Amino acid sequence: MNTTEHQTDKTDRIDKKTILVAVTDLFFYTKVRDALRQPEYQLEKARTQQDIVDKAVSAGPGVIIFNMNDLTLDAFRALEQLKADPRLKNIPTLAFANHEEVDTWNRAKALGVTKVVSRNEFSARTRELVEELFTSGTRLTSNVSLLTDSR
């Protein structure tokens, strides 16, 4: 019946690892989607600034991904809001930014980002980085790896 079908859908969703993607750049969103196509991941996309907090509350993500250089979504404001909310402050966050913008990296670290990487590292290692955060959970403490473009 519909009740059983609904319960199955809910159970299937619980088994998946939810990732909130606060990235409006189509290239990087596609990178995330392609890297995490496996059935154990469920992506929730933040399309507006308010979506970030609203979806963090409703979806209960295990990780939130931020593009610190996004011109549409203000990652800094979102991080301030998340860290101020006791329900959301311990969600691990993965951020990527231009490797030359040291101030952006430092500000992200000061706001409590779990891991910050260059745009190139994010593109090359998206799945590995996300899995690292799921494995480590909130035990990671602002692990910032300042990597430059090796290409």
For the chain, which domains are there?
A: 17-144 (3.40.50.2300)
Supply the DSSP symbol for 69.
T
Token look-up 């952006």 returns 104
Question: What per-residue confidence (pLDDT) applies to 16?
Answer: 76
Both tokens of residue 136? 């480590």
Judged by phi (left if over 0) then psi (alpha if -120 to 50, else beta), residue 38 lies in beta
Rounded-to-integer distance, Cα 32 and Cα 25, Å? 11
Q: Is 9 exposed, middle or buried (0-12, 13-18, 19+ CB in 10 A)?
A: exposed
Residue 52's SS3 state is: helix
Q: What is the pLDDT of residues 13-38, one digit of tens each?
A: 445 799 999 999 998 899 999 999 87
Q: What is the pLDDT of residues 96-134, one digit of tens each?
A: 999 899 999 999 999 999 999 999 999 999 999 999 999
39 band by pLDDT with thresholds 50, 70 and 90: confident
Q: 0.85 cut: is pTM over it?
A: no
